[in-house]
């Protein structure tokens, strides 16, 4: 380098990294870190299984009825299923019966109820009488979005109220879904009396 080269460049060119001379110590640190990471993942898996065992009293999810007609007055939505939680407790994730598995989703709402088709995960059906309402929200266990980014549908299953969170590929559809579910729940409540 010439004498016109700035001092910091000359110093940087002269400095070299020290060669690794203690390979066993380096390898033991890397192995120790990998064992620690594996242990943390094992603990997370055990926590997931423990949560599932605590929720084992949740009844089987209803399947789509034989005579389900998805056509006609059906409202459909394609998007993502994010999670189901205990109603009103957006961080209390339900993992039993496959409700903890995120997936793509195809929703169909008719006067018979809500059909939830999840490729790669367990499908389920919510009868119209079990629907309790819908709202727009910003978060559910594991997912937080801008205000109104999630469609939350509340439904009854066994003795529990459950909030299930969905996000449409076209979020402008959310408002129509809230209106349709609320209208369906008001008509089913009126006929139940």
- The pLDDT tens digits for 36-66 are 999 999 999 999 888 888 888 888 888 888 8
Cβ–Cβ under 8 Å, residues 155 and 130: yes
Strands (E), 128-168: 131-137, 139-140, 143-144, 150-157, 160-168
Task: Give 70-88 pLDDT, tens digit per residue.
Answer: 655 789 999 999 999 999 8
Tell me the torsion sign for CA atoms 117, 122, 124, 130.
negative
* pLDDT for the residue 70: 62
Tens of each residue's pLDDT in the chain, 193 residues:
556 667 777 666 666 666 767 888 889 999 999 999 999 999 999 998 888 888 888 888 888 888 776 655 789 999 999 999 999 898 889 988 889 889 999 999 998 999 999 998 989 999 999 999 999 998 898 888 887 789 999 999 988 999 999 999 988 899 999 999 999 988 766 555 4
Give domain 75-192's CATH architecture. Roll (2.30)
- The rounded distance, in Å, linking the Cα atoms of 134 and 126 is 13
C-beta of residue 98 within 8 angstroms of C-beta of residue 136: no
Return d(Cα 86, Cα 66) in angstroms, integer: 29
Q: Model-level pTM greater than 0.85?
A: no
CB-CB contact of 166 with 183 (8 Å): no
Task: Provide the H-helix boundaries in 5-157.
Answer: 7-14, 23-54
């Amino acid at each position: 380098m010439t004498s016109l080269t700035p001092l910091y460049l000359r110093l940087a060119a002269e400095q070299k990294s020290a060669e690794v001379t203690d390979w066993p110590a380096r390898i033991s640190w890397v192995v120790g870190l990998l064992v620690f990471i594996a242990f943390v993942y094992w603990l997370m898996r055990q926590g997931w299984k423990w949560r599932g065992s605590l929720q084992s009293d949740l009844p089987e999810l209803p399947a789509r009825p034989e005579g389900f007609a998805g056509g006609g007055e059906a409202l459909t939505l394609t998007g993502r299923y994010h999670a189901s939680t205990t109603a009103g407790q957006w961080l209390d994730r339900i993992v039993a019966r496959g409700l903890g598995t995120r997936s793509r989703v195809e929703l169909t709402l008719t006067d018979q109820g809500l059909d939830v088709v999840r490729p790669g995960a367990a499908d389920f059906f919510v009868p119209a009488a079990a629907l309790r309402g819908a709202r727009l929200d910003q978060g559910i266990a594991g997912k937080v979005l801008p205000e109104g980014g999630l469609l939350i549908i509340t439904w009854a299953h066994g003795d529990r109220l459950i909030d299930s969170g969905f996000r449409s590929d076209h979020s402008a559809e959310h408002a129509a879904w809230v209106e349709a579910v609320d209208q369906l729940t008001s008509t089913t409540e009126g006929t139940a009396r």
